[in-house]
Amino acid sequence: MSATHPPCAASRTLGADLGERTRATRGYAGLVPGEWFEWEWDETLFAGAAAFYDRGRLPNAPGLAAAFNDTFGLDGQGRLLDVGSGPGTVTLPLAGLFREVVGVDADTEMIREARRLAAKRGVMNASWVHRRAEELPADLGRFNVITFAASFHWMNRPLVAGIVREMLERPDGAVVHVDNRHQDGLAPADDLPPAPTERIAELRRSYLGENRRAGQGIRNSSPGDEAAVFRAAGFAGPELVVVPDGRTIIRSADDLVAETFSLSASAPHLFGERLSQFERDLRRLLADASPNGAFAVRLPDNELKIWRNATP
């Protein structure tokens, strides 16, 4: 597979909007290829990743559901919309707090995996919608709480923020950005080695090139200034709720292989026929980094950033 392909025509109107691109571009003396605002979404972004997601991704803080309950005083009657739900990472643990939860995701395999995990965990009040966030509201009705977890940065943020504002119950509905802070750098723990993240990235680069791949394109940066996007869309906030964690988690080589394949930049589809060769090299690297095959990581606290309608 070549490094870049033309963006999918259908997604072009749904990509980052012109206003965001213009604002972002102004800050740059010269443009570096692969900036987030040049990138176009396409349906291969997480192709092949869903099956690895639940095992590979680090868990959210155990008190996540309790934090939602305490913050919103939930009575089990409301509705939750989780946008970019993946396999239900946040949707499923929160399902018991609502009459109905709806996960929306643009990736068919993620939706299939969410259905499978919901059935496995006996969650009966969840429904799953295969759709891009930009295509909401899609007749889904109004919601008391709308969540984004590790997903908003992939979307046309001004468009999606504006749409979900109209989907909130008034006056008390709220949007919550669930930030697990796993990207902020994970503290080492115990006597075990940490995951050899930089060596894994080096191996990825040796297979896929210097640029971070994202679907059929490249994307070397992520958008910031989420607060400005929410405020411009008519939200006030954010209120910050910290959900404590700090647990030490032991990870096996299989967990780290799953994590690698769960990431958009090293999703299975990117390796084509070299997938098993990459996996062999990855396992060799992991065995070298920890001869007994165990790694440890200390999990950071999670943060909920809560946005409410500025004109309820």
Ligand X SMILES: C[S@@+](CC[C@H](N)C(=O)[O-])C[C@H]1O[C@@H](n2cnc3c(N)ncnc32)[C@H](O)[C@@H]1O
In the complex, which residues of this chain contact ligand X (CB under 6 A)?
Answer: 41, 45-46, 57, 84-86, 89-90, 104-107, 110, 132-134, 149-151, 154-155
| Partners of 55 in the β-ladder | none
Phi, psi angles (nearest 5°) of residue 128? -130, 130
Rounded to whole angstroms, the Cα distance separating 232 from 229 reads 5
Shortest reach from residue 8's CB to ligand X, in Å: 12
> Which of 89/144 has CB closer to ligand X?
89
Minimal distance, residue 132 CB to ligand X, in Å: 4
Nearer to ligand X, 290 or 299 (CB): 299
Minimum separation from the CB atom of position 170 to ligand X (A): 24
Strand 126-130 relative to strand 217-218: parallel, antiparallel, unpaired? unpaired
Nearest residue (CB) to ligand X, 89 versus 290: 89
72 or 154: CB nearest ligand X? 154
Query: What are the start-end ranges of the H helices in 214-268?
Result: 226-232, 253-262
The distance of closest approach from Cβ of residue 90 to ligand X in the complex, given in angstroms and rounded to an integer, is 5
8, 217 Cβ separation under 8 angstroms: no
**Count of alpha carbons within 13 angstroms of residue 192, beta-carbon side:** 22
**Residue at shortest CB range from ligand X:** 86
Decide: 141 and 173 in contact? Cβ < 8 Å: no
Q: How far apart are CA 289 and CA 285, in angstroms?
A: 6
Select 89 or 309, whichever has its Cβ closest to ligand X.
89
**In the bound complex, what is the minimum distance in angstroms from residue 113's beta carbon to ligand X?**
9
